[in-house]
Chains A and B, each alone.
Chain A
Amino acid sequence: MVLALFPVAPTLAQEAGKEVAYRAFPLLGSKLAVWVIAQIHLNFAAFILGVPVFSVIIEIVGWRTKDPKYDWLAHEFVKLIISAFSITALLGGLLLFILVGFYPKLWSYMSGIFFPTFWMYGILFFLETFTVYLWYYGWEWLSGPKKWIHVSLGVLSNLFGTAILFVANAWVTFMVSPKGIDEAGNLQSLWQAIDNPTWMPINVHRLLANVVFGGIIAAAYAAYRFLSATTEEERARYDWMGYMGNFVAISAFLVLPFAGYYLGREIYAFNQTMGITMMGGFLSWLWIIQAILIGILFICSNYYLWLGMERIPGSERYRRYIPYLLMVLAFGFMVWATPRSMVVTLAESRAMGGTYHPILGFLGVMSAKNTAVNILILTTFLSFLLYRRANRLSTKSWAGTGMTVQWATFGIAASIVIFFGVYGYFVDSIVRIGFSVYQVLAVLGTIVLVMAIDIPMFRGAKSTGTIRWGKIAPRSQYVLILLAVTFTWLMGLMGFARAAIRQYWHIFGVMQDTSPEAGAPALGYAANVISGVTIVFWLLVMFIFWLASLGDRGKARAHEHAAPVVAGGVGDPE
C-alpha cells in the first residue's frame, strides 16, 4: 500500500499550496484504502479496549478469593493485548495520514470542529498506554500487599480506555448525526457536536461489543493453544481459558441486541428518512445477513455449552433438554432471518403478489423479530444455567421452591415476550416500538432474578464430580474459532452499515461526498472487502498469538505466573 504511493508523489508535490478536496489513492482508490485501514484499526482497538474490561474483573476475583488461577488467567489475557497495542497505534497513524492526504477538505472541516478533542485524545492515549504497560509489567512487582495498587492500575486503564473510545466515537457519530452546528455548518457548540444523537448509543454499543470481541478472540487464542497442546495439563488449562473467554463474550453478547435497538431508535429519532433507509431501503438485505450471522453465533454458543456439558459428571440429567432447546433456537433463527420490506425484482414481486411474502412476510416485521431475538436470548441463558448446575445438587432446604420460582420466571418472561409480540400486530408502529422495552425488561429481569436465586441456591452444593477440564471434544475448539471469525466478520458488516447509512454524505446533510467514489457500494462488494479485511486482521492476530506463545517457551517455569493446574481441579464452572 505504501509502495503504491510512490508513483503519485510528483503529482502530490505539484498540488502543494493548492486547495484540493480529494486525492486519488493509487490502485485501490481512496475510499477502499480508508475503509480497509479503518476497519482493521477498529478491530484491533476493540480488542485492546475490550480485554482489559474483563481482565481486571477476573483479577479482582482472583485477588479476593485468593485463587491463583484467576490471577494467571487475567495475566494471560492482558499478555495478548500488549503486542496488539503497537499495531493498533500504527494503524491509527496510517488512517490519519490517509484521511489528511486523500480527504483534505473533510479533514480540515472535522479538525475545525473537533480540534480541542484531538489534544484530549492524544493525552488519553498516552495515559492509557502508560497505565496498561505498568499494569502488565508490574504484575509481579505489585503483588502481595501491593495488589490493590495493581488492581487500581487495571481499573484506571479501563477508565482511560473508555474515555478514548468516547472521544473517537464523537468524531464518528458526528458524521452520522451532526449537531452543534448552524445551517451553514459553522460550529455553535463543541459539546453538542460531541453529544450528538447517536454518540451515547454508540458508546454503549461499542463498549459491550468490545467486551464480546475481546472475550472471543481470547477464547480463539485458547482454542489454538488447546489444539496445539502436547500435555493434558496444558489442554486443561486452555480448555478453561477458552471457556472463560467465551463466557465473557456471550454474557456481553446477550445484552448487545438491546444496545442495538437503543441505537436504532436514536437514529430514527434523529432522522426518520435515515432510519427507514437503513431498515427498509437499499440496506434491507444487510439485516438479513446480520440475522444469519447472529443466528450462527447463538447456535454455536449453545453448541459449545452443550459440548462442554459432556465433560461434567452429572450433566446427563439435562442432556434430554438439548433437542428442545435446539428446536427453539432454530425456529427463532428462522423468524429473525425472514425478510419483509425488501428490495425485490419485478418478477419476484409478481410471484409473491406484493413486495413481501403473503404468509412468511408476517414473520418479517419487527414484532416477530423482537420476539425471536428475546426468545433466543432466554434460550441461551437457559443453556448456560443448565451448564452451570450440571455437576451440582443444591443442599438448600428451599431449593424446590427456588427452582419453581426460576421456572415460573422463565415462563412468565416468555409469555410477556410472546404476548407483546402478537399484540404488536394490532397497534400502530409508534405504540409497537414501545413494546420492545417491555420485552427487553422481561428478559433482563429474568436473567437478574434467576441468577439472584441460583447463586445462593448452589452455594455449598453437593458435587456430582469435578469438571474434567481438557476432556472436551476438540470440535468445540473449532466452534470457538468459528465464533471468533463470525464476530469479526459481523463487526466489519456493522462498520459498513454505519458508514452506508450516511449514503453519499461525508457528514450527513452537511458535507456531501462529491468525489467520483461517492455513494455506497453493493453488499456483494462490501462482503468481498469485509472478508479481505477479516483475513488480514486474523493474519496479524495469528502473528500476535505466535509472539505470545514464543514468550512462554522456556519461561513458564521461571515465571511467577507459571500456569496453575486446573485439570479436574475446578469445581465451579463460573
Chain B
Amino acid sequence: MRLPVVVRISVLGLAAMGVYTYYANSIPQIQLKPPQQLSLESGKVTNEQLVKAGEGIFHGKGTCEVCHRIGQPGSRAPDLAGVGARAAKRKTGLSGKAYIMEALLDPGAYVVEGFPNIMPKADKPPIGLNRSEVWAITAFLESLGGTVDVTLDDIPKTAGSGGAGGGSAQVVELKLPGDAQAGQAVFMGKGGCFACHKVGPAGTGTVGPDLSQIAKIQTPEYIMGKVLDPAAMGTVAGFPPHVMPQTFGQTLTAKEYVDLVSFLLTLKGGSAAPTTQGKK
C-alpha cells in the first residue's frame, strides 16, 4: 500500500525535527538565570568571606571571566594574576584599592597599554553590581597578590546606584498599596522579624542582617521574594543559611505581607527611626 503524499512528507518532516530535537537535548543543558543580589552592608563579614564572595562574582554575575584570566595571558584584557600587588603602582597618587575601584567603576580612566578600551562600568547595567558586590570584588582582586584592606566605607556611596535594573525603566518606584505603619507593626509583632533583624534603634536581633538601609541597597523584587521564599533568594554572606522561616507566605495575610514590604521599602538609612513616609 502506498501512503498518501501528505503522510509521507509529514513523516519526513517529523523525522528531521526529531533528529534536531534529540541532538539539542543530548548536549549539555545550561539554563541562564538572573544572578542573585549580594548584600554585605551589615558589615559583619570577615576578609575571607569577602574574598570568597568576590571570587563568586568574578566567575558569575560580574562576567569578568569573559575577558580576564588569572595566570593566563589574554588578548582582550590583562591577566589579573598579581593585580593586588601591581595595582598600587599603576597610577601615581592612587592606592591599590583606589586603582581597582577606579578600574571597576570608571574603566576608561586608565587603559592598560596594548588592550582595547572595551570594559563596561561594573556597577552599571547590564552587569549592575551593587555596592556590596563592588566591595567584595575589590577585596578579591586585592587578594590576588596583595593585602585585603578595603572597607565598605571606601566604596563610593554612588556605586551601584544604577540598581540591578538600571534606568528609570527599571527602578520606577514601586507603588504598593500597603500601609507602612501597619507593616512596622507586623515587623515588630506577628512577623517576629525584630527577633533576628535590627532596624535603626528598633529591633535588637543580630541573627540576620541589619535592615536599616535595605530599601536603599536592595530592589523591591528582592525584598518581596526574600519574605516569601528566603532560601531561593540566597543567604547574605556572614550569616547562617536556612534560618529565616519559609512560612511567611502562609502565616501572613495578603494585607500583612503588602504592609510589611511597604514598611521595608521605607528603610533607607538616614533617619534613626523607621518612618511611615513610604506609604503609597
| Residues on A facing B (Cβ under 8 Å) | 18-19, 109, 181-186, 223-224, 227-228, 271-274, 276-277, 280-282, 285, 288-289, 292-293, 343-345, 428-430, 478, 481-482, 485-486, 489, 500, 503-505, 507-514, 518-528, 530-531, 534-535, 538, 542
Q: Decide: A500 and B32 in contact? CB cutoff 8 A.
A: yes
Among candidates B14, B29, B63, residue contacting A273 with C-beta atoms closer than 8 Å: B63
- B17 to A534, Cβ gap below 8 A? yes
Contact (Cβ within 8 A) B20 A489: yes
B25: interface (CB < 8 Å): yes
How far, in whole Å, are A271 and B125 apart by their CA atoms in the complex?
A: 11
Kindly provide the distance from the CB of B209 to the nearest chain A CB, expressed in whole angstroms.
22
Roughly how many angstroms separate A338 CA and B152 CA in the complex, as a whole number?
47
The secondary structure that dominates the A interface is helix
Q: Report B's interface with A, CB cutoff 8 A.
A: 5-6, 8-9, 12-14, 16-18, 20-21, 23-34, 63, 66-67, 75-76, 116, 118, 120, 124-127, 162, 164-170, 175, 177, 219, 221
Q: In whole angstroms, what is the CA distance A513 to B34 when docked?
A: 8
A521 to B162, CA, bound (A): 27
Max chain B C-beta neighbours (<10 A), residue from A285, A288, A503, A512: A512
Whether B6 and A542, one on each chain, are in contact in the complex, defined by CB atoms closer than 8 angstroms, is yes
**CA–CA, A527 and B21, complex, Å:** 5
Known contacts A271-B120, A510-B125, A510-B169; A183/B32 CB under 8 A: no
Q: Beyond A510-B170, A523-B27, A524-B25, is A276–B8 a contact (Cβ under 8 Å)? A: no
Known: A227-B8, A524-B25. 20 other contacts (CB 8 A): A18-B177, A181-B167, A184-B168, A185-B166, A228-B5, A272-B66, A277-B66, A292-B23, A478-B8, A485-B17, A509-B124, A510-B125, A510-B166, A510-B170, A511-B165, A520-B31, A522-B29, A522-B31, A527-B23, A534-B13
Q: Are A272 and B76 in contact (CB under 8 A)?
A: yes
Complex contact B16–A485 (CB within 8 A)? yes
**Which of the residues A274, A344, A520, A531 comes within 8 Å of B20, measured between beta carbons?**
A531
Decide: A19 near B165, CB < 8 A? Known: A511-B170, A531-B17.
no
Q: Is the CB of A109 within 8 A of B126?
A: no
A109-B169, A509-B125 given; A535·B17 CB < 8 A: yes
Distance between Cα atoms of A438 and B154 in the complex (Å): 50
| Min CB–CB distance B245 → chain A (angstroms) | 21
Partner of A528, one of B21, B120, B166: B21
B23 touches A289 (CB 8 A): yes
A489 to B20 CA separation, bound complex (whole angstroms)? 9
On whether the beta carbons of B31 and A521 are closer than 8 Å, the reply is yes
Shortest Cβ gap from B163 to chain A (Å): 9
The listed residue (B27, B29, B33) touching A504 by CB distance below 8 A is B33
Complex Cα distance A530/B25, Å? Answer: 12
Nearest 5 A/B pairs, CB to CB: A185-B167, A527-B24, A185-B169, A524-B25, A522-B29
Minimum C-beta distance from A93 to chain B (A): 26
Give Cα A504–Cα B25 distance, bound, in whole angstroms: 22
Cβ-defined partner of B175 (8 Å) among A19, A182, A183: A19
